[in-house]
Amino acid sequence: MTVPKVLIFGYGNPGRGDDALGPELIEAIEAKALPDVECQVDMQLQVEHVTDLIGRNRILFIDADMSCHEPYTFRALQAEKNDSYTSHAMSPAALLHAYHHVYGTHANNAYLLSIRGSHFELGDNLSESARINLLLAIEAAQKFCTEANHPFSFEHP
């Protein structure tokens, strides 16, 4: 079985308002049924997710963030050992570090798309500003997925 070239991984808690931005973006991209793209969602990153990174040409992690610029920020990731591997959830950089430790090689072309959110209380719905940010982030993520065979440059709206 061949592994899709692109993995997009959205994480966050759908029960905490804007923290659902990652899973919401994944749902929108899945509905587009893009070829050679695998979508995954979870409440948080765990060390077990290292196996999901195997064989990918490009990886995009998606999360809500209350401190990033609106509507979203995008950055390349590097493997980095940090204390998140000892907590209940891992950062994408720590997951990349675990991948390197387990497989002896670096995961290819990993990026983080942080979508600006502001309401993260239990039981909140997505805020109106987060919905707008999400629509713009969906467009950016779709471009990321469809240009998997080309060098990627991410432009902000």
> Domain span at residue 139?
6-146
Q: Which pLDDT does position 148 carry in this prediction?
A: 57
Asked, for residue 152, whether it belongs to a domain, the answer is no
Q: Which residues of 96-118 are buried (b: 16+ CB within 10 A; e: fewer)?
A: bbbbbeeeeeebebbbbbbbbbe
Expressed in angstroms, the distance from the first to the final Cα of the chain is: 37
Summarize pLDDT for 17-76 with one digit per residue, the tens. 999 999 999 999 999 999 999 999 999 999 999 999 999 999 999 999 999 999 999 999
How many domains are contained in the chain? 1
List the CATH number of the domain containing 97: 3.40.50.1450
